[in-house]
Amino acid sequence: MSKIEEKLAQMDVTLPDAPPPAANYVPYVVTGNMVYVSGQISQGAQGNMLGKLGETASVEDGVAAARACAISLLAQLKAACDGDIDRLVRVIKLTGFVNSTSGFTDQPKVINGASDFLVAALGDKGRHARSAVSAASLPLGVMVEIEAIFEIA
């Protein structure tokens, strides 16, 4: 088991198989030492995590959804690294989209669910630049979608 997966296990997290793409795109692109991971939607053990922040979902719901996206991002990273996730040098950037009402302004708090998880799991390798933006809707009605850029060895 990799060092990163050992740390995840201590956090009671097991990486799932990388989710397949839902349309005509690839789940990640590796170019040089960079991995660009396509947007990962909020999915949990019970299926898609649905809702609109500021209407049918709370900030806490959104935080959990963002954390779920981060787990899927790491699953895609592991696949991009041919199973050796310890090749990770660092998380470079997250772009988080929050399905929210026009008056909702806590997008950064929601995307903290992913950021806090990555720092807890990866330490300084998990610190990253980030954007957190609102969306009028997201695919399948999910609460959150996050894409990422990683540096690998």
pLDDT of residue 54: 97
**Mean pLDDT, range 49-68, rounded to an integer:** 98
Closest to 75 (Cα-Cα) out of 127, 140, 141, 146? 146
Quick count: other Cβ atoms within 10 Å of Cβ 80? 21
Domain count, the chain: 1
pTM of the model: 0.97
Domain residues for 42? 3-91+100-152
The CATH number given to whatever domain includes residue 19 is: 3.30.1330.40
pLDDT of residue 126: 98
